[in-house]
Each structure stands twice: as C-alpha cells, then as structure tokens.
Amino acid sequence: MTSSLHLWLIPIVPFAGFLVNGLLGRRFPKALVTTVAWVATLIPFLQVLNIALHFGSLTLPYSENVGTWIAAGGFHADFAFALDQLTLIMLLVVTGVGFIIHLYSAGYMAHEDGYWRFFAYLNLFMFFMLTLVLAENFLLMFVGWEGVGLASYLLIGYYFTKDSAANAGKKAFVVNRIGDFGFLLAMFLLVAHFGTLSFNAIFSQIAQHPEWQGGFLTAIALFLILGATGKSAQIPLYTWLPDAMEGPTPVSALIHAATMVTAGVYMVARAHMIFNRSPFALTTLAIIGAATALFAATIGLVQTDIKRVLAYSTVSQLGYMFLACGVAAYSSGIFHLLTHAFFKALLFLAAGSVIHALSGEQDMRVMGGLWKKLPITFWTMTAAVFAISGIPPFAGFFSKDEILYQAFISPNPVGKIVWFVGLLTAGLTAFYMFRLWYLTFFGKSRTPEAAHDDHGHGHAHGVHESPWIMLGPLVVLAILSVIGGWVGVPAAMGGHNEIEHFLSPVMHAQYLSYEQVSVAMSTHPQAVVHPAPETAEGSNSLALLLAALSVTVAAIGWFIAHLLYFAKPELPEQLATKLRGLHSLLLNKYWVDEFYGAAIVAPVLFLSRYALKGLFDTGVITGGSLALGYTTQGIGSVVQRIQSGNIRSYAGWLALGAAALLLLTYFGFGTHLSF
Amino acid sequence: MVVPIAYYLVLSAILFSIGVAAFLVKRNIISIFMSIELMLNAVNLTFVAFAHHWHQVSGQIFVFFVMVVAAAEAAVGLAIIIALFRTRSTLNVDQVDLMKL
C-alpha cells in the first residue's frame, strides 16, 4: 500500500479534544464537553479499526516521518511514527478500551465538579499514550512516556482539595521520575553507542553485529528495566500504584490498569532486540516480574478497600507480563497485556459501579449481598473475576497459562523457579479475587443504612444499579473478558495461538537473515534467543499438564475463598487473630512504604531541610545577597556624609581634586599621564 | 623693554589663587561669585600673555569666548541670587544646604 496512513492523526485528534475542552470546556454545557471528548476518542478508534481491517494489505513495518524534530550535528530525531503488529495490538487496546472508558466516565463523573477538566485530562492522556505507542524512536516514545505520567499525575490528583489525593499524585510523579531517570540514561547510552534513537536503525545495527552481547547492551537493558519498573509499578518502584487509587475509578481503569502501566511491558517488547542479547538483563527481568507478582498478590490477600485489592492485583498481573518478557516470551507478555486490559478495566469499572451504587463507599467490609441489587454489575464482574483467576475458557486462563508454560520450558536457569512462583501467585490471585467477589456480592448486607448520605456523590438514595451509560461498557468488556483469550488458544488445546503467529514478525529476528542467525548461533549460542519452540506432539501433554495444574491451583484458591468468606464468614477473623504477625505484615504492605519513608524520603527531607535549605539556601544564597545589600548600605551611610549640601565643602573638594590632579601631572604615575 | 612671560604667569597665578581662596573662605554668595570672575580673568590673562608670546591669535579668541560665557553666567547667576534672596532672605551659603541626603 503506497498511500499514507496518516498515523499522526491518531494522537493529534485527542490532543485537539484536550485543547477544546481544556481551554473552553469551563463554559461548555456538560453534553458538549462529553461530545467533544467522545468524538476525539472515537475518531482514532475508527481509524485504528480501519487500519486493522486493511492490515493484511500493508507492507510492514510501515513508518511515516512527519518532520524533523532535532537535528544537531550527526544526531537527529524525527517526529516519526511506525506501525507493525505490536503497535496495532497496543493501538486497539488503547483506543478501544479508552473509548469504552470515555463512555463509562460520562455516567460515573456526571455529578462531579470539574467535569470538563476530567475529560480534558483524559483526552490528554490518550494523546500521550498514542504517541508513546506509535513513536518510531526512543525520544518520541519518551515524550509519550513523560506525558502519560503527567496525565496520570493530573488525574490522580483530580480531587485536589483532598490532601491524600494531592499527595498520591505527587508520589506517583516522583516515583515515576526515578524510572524516567533510568530511561534517560538508557537513551544516552543508546546515542553514545548507536548515534541514533530510531528503533529501526538501532535494531538493524544490533542485528548486523551478532557478536554484540552483554556489555553495554546489558547496561542499556538494565536502565530500560529501571524505567519500566517505574512506569509499570514493579519492585522496587511499585509503591505509587496503590496510592494512585485516589483518582476517580475510570482513571484507575484506563491509566492504572489497562494502558499506561503496561507501557513498560510494551517498551520491553519493543526493545526485545536489546534484551535478547543480554541474558543477565532477561534473568533480572524475570526475577523482578515473579517477585512482584507474588509480593503484590500476598498484599492483596488482606486489603479491605476494593480498589486497593484491584491495584495490588494489577501490580501482580504486571509482574506476570514482566516474567513473560524475562523468559523472552514477549508475545505471551503482550497477550496477557491484552486480556488483562479487558478484565482489569472491567474489574475497575464494575468496582466503580459498586462504589457508585454505594455512594462512594469503597470498604468491602461494609458491602455484601449486593448481587441481587446490582445484577448486571454482578454478572459482568463475575466474568472478570473468572477471567483473572484463570478459569477456562475465560481470557485470563489462556494468557496466564501461556506465560507459565513459556516460563516452564524456558532454557533460562530461573525458568522453573519463576514458573513455580507464577503458579503460586495464580492460586493467590484466585483467592483474593474470589474473596473480593464474595465480600462484595454475597452474604448479608453489612451496609449501615445511615452511611449512605454522607458520601461525596450527593445523589444517594439507597443502593441502585448504575445507568446504562455505565453498564453498557461493562457488558462489552465482559464479553471481551470471556472471548478475548480465544485469539491465543495454544496448539495443545486445539487452537492455533493466532496472537503469537501474528506477533512473530515483530518478535523473531526480523532484522536477521538466515545466514546471520546461523553464524551467530554457532559462534555465540546464547546470544540468540531460541525461536519459540513449535509445540510438538510430545510437549502437548506437558502443556496440558501444566494447564491442568494451574487450573487446579486456581480452583484451590477459589475453594479456600469460598470456605473463608462464604461458608464460614467468622473464620477469617479467627485466622487473623491467630496469625496476627503475618496478618499485620500483609495488612501494612510489608511496611515497604514506611521503609522507603525512613530510608529514602526522611534522609532526603533531612538533607533538603538542613543541609540544602538551612545551610545552602539560607546560608549561602540568602546570606550572600543580604551581605551584599548590607555592605552597600553601610558604605553608603559613610559616604553620604560627603554630600552635605554645603556649597563651600563642595568647593573645597573641588579645589582639592584639582590640586591633586595638578600634583599628579607633575609628579604622577610616570610619562603616560604627563601631557 | 619686553616684559618676560613669567611675570604675567606669576601675576595670573596669584590672581587665580586669591580667587580660589576667596571662593573657599567667603560666605556671601556675591563674594563667591566675584571670586569666580577673578579666577576666570586670571586665566584670561594667561591666554593673552601666551598669545602675545607665541604670536598666535587663537589665545585672544579664547579670551573673547571666556568673556562671553562669563557674561552669560553672570546674568544667570545674578538671577539665581535674586531668586534665592527672595525665598530665603539670606545670602549666606552655609544656610543654603537643603540639597543633601
């Protein structure tokens, strides 16, 4: 296809929406604000759908250059956009889920102040996220990367009059900055070694040098991992995501579940050429992913705030994606990203619907028995819970199972370990999700009747099902959560794993000719990552066995949740008292926030307050300028006596001066002054 | 007989020094004014003496300039003195010292 796809339109339309709503929205009626925001998201969605329909006829990877951005000496970066299979999947997720959530938000935010501001920020987010996904070089990607951080900050702090929300926004921004620092260093290294930031240029250079492995590529990969851990909330930088739940629920669904936090996974998948050359970085990634998955899941077991459970679950699921990337199964990571976007967005939106129904209540301890009152929310959420727990044939089963399978068969020495951790986490995931399900929808209602009218929404009159503008998106996402996984049914179960085949042109040595691969294989066997093993007849039984195992583990998780929160609801209390130490360790999130507070925040604050502010700012800067001022004033107060107003004293000075000049002329500084 | 140039210069220096001394010592504005005139004329004398000595006419032209400026200055100065006397009823410079910090 020769004609231009005008990819640049995809991000620019939401930006126009942001400008219109951001500049003029205050004076618009709500209906107009909504229309602008919807149209600004719908147009890119339709464009992406159009591209997807004609995808087969495109020559890939397609790229277009809108203009030169930076040209400095030998280095230059362009406003260049690229499209390949990976981009298309991300585009579909971002615009599709994004549009659905825009619809939902109109219902959820209907009674909030600053309605226009919310939609303006949401469109701004879409702009940056689409820039990030479409960018053809690291620098433009970084623009999107920073921009989504900004939008996330603005939206977390949406209720900025609430201290906790403002602080959560700040925390998210600052923690993300640490990750961005890693990303920046990685870019500097890339420029230093490759002289360019263009994906295509860098990856083909790497492909032409099969002898490059480890070394500086490991350094770049590790810095990229640091960047990814910040944006995608992995250990050690995950702490901002649970706090980010201060934002409105649609924001949690869009930014902090479906799209922005997956940017790290996307970036790793995009830069897989670099990661493939560094077994050390891959192992690090796998360990970080597995550790985060387990760690966050255990915290999720005991949280009582419905959104916080989901937040830790998001961190945990992102861990799975990193685990997948760490065993070089990028397609599986992206597959899980896709299904996760569906079911986690659905979980958040359904939770939002529950919160909406309860007029702002988020504590699961005072919910219960809601399934009859909120039937549609209940059934859609059920689909999501089954999906995330990995119950076949829901979406999460296929993607999670694919990751576990890839980890198990990975030649990486930590493969089996991360597989086991992943399996354990699957059980924990099923447990906490069904715990949430039982606590929210089953048992007796624990809602104190009087509490209804106290909360923010201000339209509370009993528990009520949400309007259709909110339920519609739930239904669509529920359908996707059921069928979304069917694009990746593995061969062992009679499927074709379409998504992996779809992504394989991106993931597998597209820059290498066959000869180069074989040369590289013979000289540096570990330098080239094994191609995805074709599931032979022999390993089918292994795949089925592993799948059965993970389903069993999930079922055990479900069973325990059923036992504790449905059959014997008094048991959890007793367990909590019996295992008080463990319970409070989990409830307090391993005191990681406190640890960071004591180990990093407090010293930094101390340094800033005393060394930098006390000594340097007050001492050197303020002191220096004050000293300058006072010195001038002092000299002035002495010298001003000369200006007495007395003419004769002036005349005296004049005469003295003239006499001095005369004397100088005669006996002065040598010949150059004499006339 | 030709009077040596040094005589003129010494006379001029004496006149100028008297002018300076009077300028510094006197308190009456009119006296100060007169001492300024004295200094100007001492300089004029030097100009004329040198013009004669070197047979150059430019020195004499300078003198005319000085006299013109002095006349103008006298007019302005006297006007100021009259205005000052009308407002302050004094000609003592030590009592006219408002222009200070």
CA–CA gap between residue A464 and residue A153 (Å, rounded): 31
CB A128 within 8 A of CB A148: yes
| Percent residues over pLDDT 90 in chain A | 45
pLDDT in tens, A516-555: 444 444 444 444 444 444 444 457 888 888 889 999 999 9
Using alpha carbons only, give the angle A484, A486, A491 rounded to the nearest 5 degrees: 150
pLDDT for res A535: 45
Residue of B nearest to A650 (CA): B24
Question: Chain A contacts of B20, Cβ < 8 Å?
Answer: 655
Selection from A336, A323, A576 nearest residue A435 by Cα = A576
Interface membership of B96 toward A (CB under 8 Å): yes
Amino acid at A422: G
**Could you give the angle at which helices A468-483 and A375-389 cross, rounded to 10 degrees?**
30
**Residue B100: which pLDDT band, with cuts at 50, 70 and 90?**
low
DSSP B48-61: HHHHHHHT-SHHHH
Looking at this protein, which amino acid is placed at residue A258? A
Residue B95 per-residue DSSP state: G
**Could you tell me which residue, A2 or A402, shows the higher pLDDT?**
A402
Residue A534's beta-bridge partner residues?
none
Q: Report percent pLDDT > 90 for chain B.
A: 70
Provide the β-strand partners of residue A76. A71
CA–CA separation, A553 vs A70, rounded Å? 53
- What is the pLDDT averaged over residues A188-207? 90
Supply the DSSP symbol for A614: I
> Which whole number is the average pLDDT over A104-125?
90
**Angle in degrees, 0-180, between the axes of helices A571-578 and A580-587, rounded to the nearest 10:** 100
The pair of structure tokens assigned to B38 is 């004295």
Cis peptide before A242 (omega within 30 of 0): no
Predicted local distance difference test score (pLDDT) of residue A42: 95
For residue A55, the model assigns a pLDDT of 85
What does the block give as tokens for A264?
A: 């790290």
| Mean of pLDDT values over A23-52 | 92
pLDDT in tens, A648-674: 888 888 889 988 998 888 886 655 544
- Decide which of A1 and A337 is more confident: A337
Contacting residues of B for A644, CB less than 8 Å apart:
97, 100
Separation of alpha carbons A513 and A503, rounded Å:
18
Encoded tokens for B68:
């013109």
Question: Which residues from A are below 8 Å from B27, CB to CB?
Answer: 648
State the smallest CA–CA distance between residue B34 and chain A in angstroms.
15
Among the partner residues A640, A646, A651, nearest to B97 by beta-carbon distance: A646
Query: Of the candidates B20, B27, B101, which has its C-beta nearest A643's C-beta?
Result: B101
Q: How many CB atoms lie within 10 A of CB A284?
A: 19
How many angstroms separate the CA atoms of A397 and A335, rounded? 11
Residue A413 main-chain phi, psi, to 5 deg: -60, -25
Cβ-based neighbour number of residue A548 at 10 Å: 12
What three-state secondary structure class fits A66?
Answer: strand
Probe site for chain B from A635, A643, A646 (most B CB atoms < 10 A): A646
Say if B91 is an interface residue toward chain A (CB within 8 Å).
Answer: no
Nearest to A28 by CA among A103, A104, A153, A114: A114
Of B20, B94, B101, the CB nearest to A646: B94
- C-beta atoms of A645 and B93 within 8 A: no
Cα dihedral sign, A476-A478-A481-A487? negative
Size of interface A-B (CB pairs under 8 A): 29
Query: Chain B: residue nearest A641 by CA?
Result: B101
Q: At what angle do helices A30-53 and A85-108 cross, to 10 degrees?
A: 160
Q: Across the interface, do A645 and B97 touch by the CB < 8 Å criterion?
A: yes
Contact residues, chain B, for A640 at CB < 8 Å: 101
Sign of CA dihedral A383, A388, A389, A393: positive
The per-residue pLDDT for B6 is 92
Record the pTM.
0.78
Whether residue B23 and residue A645 make contact (CB cut-off 8 A), yes or no, is: no
pLDDT higher than threshold 90 for residue A571: no
Question: CB-based burial of residue A513 (10 Å sphere; 0-12 exposed, 13-18 middle, 19+ buried)?
Answer: exposed
Closest in B20, B24, B99 to A648, CB measured: B24
Cα–Cα distance measured from residue A582 to residue A590, given in angstroms and rounded to the nearest whole number: 9
Nearest 10 degrees: CA dihedral of A640, A642, A643, A644?
110
User: pLDDT tens across A233-260, in order?
Assistant: 998 899 999 999 988 999 999 998 889 9
- Interhelix angle A199-208/A163-194, nearest 10 degrees: 50
Nearest residue of B to residue A642 by CA position?
B100
pLDDT for A515:
42
Per-residue pLDDT of B68-84, as tens digits, reads: 999 999 999 999 999 98
Q: What value does the mean pLDDT take over residues A604-620?
A: 86
Name the average pLDDT for chain A.
86
Q: What is the pLDDT of residues A457-513, one digit of tens each?
A: 444 457 778 888 888 999 999 999 998 888 888 877 777 778 888 888 777 644 444
Taking CB atoms and an 8 Å limit, are B93 and A655 in contact across chains? no
The pLDDT value given to residue A229: 93
* DSSP secondary structure code for residue A616 in this structure: I
Distance (Å, whole) CA A426 – CA A404: 10
What is the C-alpha to C-alpha distance for residues B35 and B27, in angstroms, rounded to an integer?
Answer: 11
Query: What are the residues of chain A with a beta carbon less than 8 Å away from any beta carbon of chain B?
Result: 640, 643-648, 651-652, 655
Q: Residue A640 and residue B101: Cβ atoms within 8 Å?
A: yes
Return the residue in A639, A642, A643, A648 with the most chain B beta carbons within 10 A, the one to mutate for interface testing. Answer: A648
Search chain A and give the residue with CA nearest B16: A655
Confidence of residue A642 (pLDDT cuts 50, 70, 90): confident
- A-chain CB neighbours of B23 within 8 Å are 651, 655
Q: Which two tokens stand for residue A319?
A: 């861990």
| A48: enclosing H helix or E strand | helix A30-53
- B22 part of contact set with chain A, CB < 8 Å: no
Contact at 8 Å (CB) between A383 and A502? no
Is residue A410 predicted with pLDDT exceeding 90? no
Q: Quick check: A494 and A543 in contact, CB under 8 A?
A: no
The Cα-based distances of A232 to A106, A225, A266, A280, A399 in angstroms read 27, 10, 10, 20, 18
Q: Beta-carbon neighbour count of residue A478 at 10 Å?
A: 23
Task: Give which of A164, A197, A433 is closest to A300, Cα–Cα.
Answer: A433
- Residue A135 backbone phi and psi in degrees, to 5: -55, 145
C-alpha to C-alpha distance for A563 and A297, rounded to whole angstroms: 19
What CA–CA distance (Å, rounded) separates A436 from A365?
A: 10
Return the minimum-mean-pLDDT range out of A16-25, A117-126, A376-385, A581-590. Answer: A581-590
Residue (of A435, A443, A446) closest to A575 by Cα position: A435
Q: Inter-chain contact A645–B99, Cβ cutoff 8 Å?
A: yes
| Burial environment of residue A41 by CB neighbours within 10 A (0 to 12, 13 to 18, 19 or more) | buried
A448: left (phi over 0), alpha (psi -120 to 50) or beta: beta
Distance CA A44, CA A308 (A): 31
Does residue A423 register a pLDDT over 80?
yes
* Minimal-distance CA residue of chain A relative to B97: A645
Secondary structure class of B28 (helix, strand, coil): strand
Closest-CA residue in chain A for B96? Answer: A646
Would you say residue A167 has pLDDT above 80? yes
Largest CA distance in chain A: 117
Q: Which residue of B has its CA nearest to A637?
A: B101
**Choosing among B36, B80, B97, which should be mutated to test the A contact, i.e. which has the most A CBs within 10 A?**
B97
| A651, closest residue in chain B (CA to CA) | B24
- To the nearest 10°, the Cα dihedral for A576, A582, A583, A584? 130
Mean pLDDT of B14-39: 92
Predicted-complex ipTM score: 0.81
User: How far is the C-alpha of A40 from the C-alpha of A29, rounded, in Å?
Assistant: 17
b/e map of A162-193 (b: 16 or more CB within 10 Å)? eeebbebbebbbebbebbbebbbbbbebbbeb
